[in-house]
A and B are shown apart, each in its own frame.
Chain A
Amino acid sequence: MTKEINSAIKDQMTTVDQTVIEFKNVYKSFGNNAVLRGINLSVKKGENLVILGRSGSGKSIAIKCLVGLIKTDKGKILVSGTDITQLNESELNTIRRRVGFLFQNGALYDSMTVRENLTFTLAHNNKELTADEVESSVVESLENVGLAEAINQMPSELSGGMRKRVGLARALIIKPEIILYDEPTSGLDPITSREIIELILEIQKKFKTTSIIITHDLACAKLTGNNVMIIKDGVIHAEGNYESLSNSNDKWVRSFLT
């Protein structure tokens, strides 16, 4: 099954304009609180999809369902044609090795240095790599986010922006085809936010990644999103590029984007 998933993903990745991620009627409730009430969305290869919505609207839940951190109640989530809701743990890990996830606060392992954070992830996923190969990948990944000098620092010694960049380096080190960004610019000053936005665009250009970006930051949505979706009441309320949504006839959508 794992080999089949790998080859299905490779076939999918070689075809341009193919849908890489697809949500089909996805539902998720926590007790009586229905968070996702039939989400339908699709992301094409190389595209950046921005998901906007009010706090608690289920944006982060949606991407956590995509990597199997949260189990859906109903519906299908297809990653390169494979329905991840039907996979067991080891099959799911095959998908996860192709997905990078940037958490809201970086989620760096705080008992490890920056080097160990990256080494730990890479070495566990590529056991055949030598120590030298791992080290050069770690340095390269940190250089990609402009933080090579922080290699020996502990996460507690890093600023918010640096933590996010190290988190991104850790996500990039497994050379993912898909990257999920959970609030990449939240809690950052405007200059650092801009740097992170530029980094997201640079990664998309350099690695041809497909991304979903969850954000409240309209500047981030405008600059990074090829496609923007707005979640309201557990469903996709509006979809389009940022400009078209800004000029939408829907008053709520317009007010959300201004």
Chain B
Amino acid sequence: MKIYLRKTFIEVGSITLFASRFFKEIFRPDFEVKEFIRQCRVIGYKSLPLVSITAFIMGLVLTIQSRPAMAKFGAESWIPGMVSLSLIREIAPVITALICAGKISSGIGAELGSMKVTEQIDAMEVSAINPYRYLVVTRILATTLMVPILVFYADLIGIYGGYIGVNMHGEVNLTRYFSQVFESLEFVDVIPATLKTFFFGFFIGMIGCHKGFNATSGTEGVGKAANSAVVSASLAIFIIDMIAVQLTDLFF
């Protein structure tokens, strides 16, 4: 237990130092714009199919599952509002972030880990190229920007999935469905939920980069880096979510 705690604190310290370097490097000149755009494409655009399918199913299933309970109270007309609130406030941000932790954080961990063990990061360093700025800053910024966009996209697709779910038991006009959704939403529902997704994105990128950058022991180390990136990023998402919910509860 003592050793486990010690390891955890060392890990947290190491990630903190890694993050502090990010904030130092980000304000230096010569930002790697091309690599940042490439990473945005890889992280954002290439995750769209997975996010679309998951979000659609989330919205559809949530609607179908909540229908019997709502029907008992004669509150079927509340389904669009309830589904959209659940999706926007909690389900879409957390599920999308978890998908990104699995897909993006592990991908970054494996890619940078492989570069580390094959001396590609060393090669960059001896060529007087700052590998942290080229590899880490661009990836963390891309995840910080792309995850909120993916979550917003997942919100829309999920709500549309809800519309399909509602239409399975009766015909509801799309305009009426969306007007019911927007009537039930307030800025208080959207803003804290959106803010926390920036933190999700930041930690997904940060943990993936940290694990990859510190990979050791050859190919086995690459596997470990990818694996622990997913585990740590998923855990971080739940912890951030818990803090975000508490803060939202306090201030809104």
Contact = CB atoms under 8 A, between A and B. Distances in A.
A96 B128 contact: yes
B12 to A, nearest CB: 23
Interface residues of A, number: 25
B120 A109 contact: yes
Given A96-B128, A124-B128, A101 B123 contact: yes
Interface string B104-146: 0000000100110011101111111110000000000000000
B126 to A, nearest CB: 4
A99 B129 contact: no
Contacts of A109: 115, 120, 123-124
A103 B129 CA distance: 16
A191 interface: no
Contacts of B129: 120-121, 124-125
- Contact size range, B: 10 to 19
A5 B34 CA distance: 31
A103 B127 contact: no
A115 to B, nearest CB: 15
Contact of A93 (B111, B114, B122, B128): B128
B120 A108 contact: yes
Contacts of B126: 67, 69, 96, 99, 101
A104 interface: yes
Interface of B: 111, 114-115, 118-120, 122-130
Given A69-B125, A107-B120, A109-B115, 8 more contacts: A101-B123, A101-B126, A107-B122, A109-B120, A110-B120, A121-B127, A124-B128, A174-B127
Interface of A: 64, 67-69, 89, 93-94, 96-97, 99, 101, 103-105, 107-111, 120-121, 124-125, 170, 174
8 A-B pairs with the lowest CB-CB distances in the bound complex, closest first? A93-B128, A107-B123, A107-B119, A96-B128, A101-B126, A121-B127, A124-B129, A67-B126
22 contacts: A69-B122, A69-B126, A96-B125, A96-B127, A96-B128, A101-B123, A101-B126, A103-B119, A107-B122, A108-B120, A108-B123, A109-B120, A109-B123, A109-B124, A120-B129, A121-B129, A124-B127, A124-B129, A125-B127, A125-B129, A170-B123, A170-B127
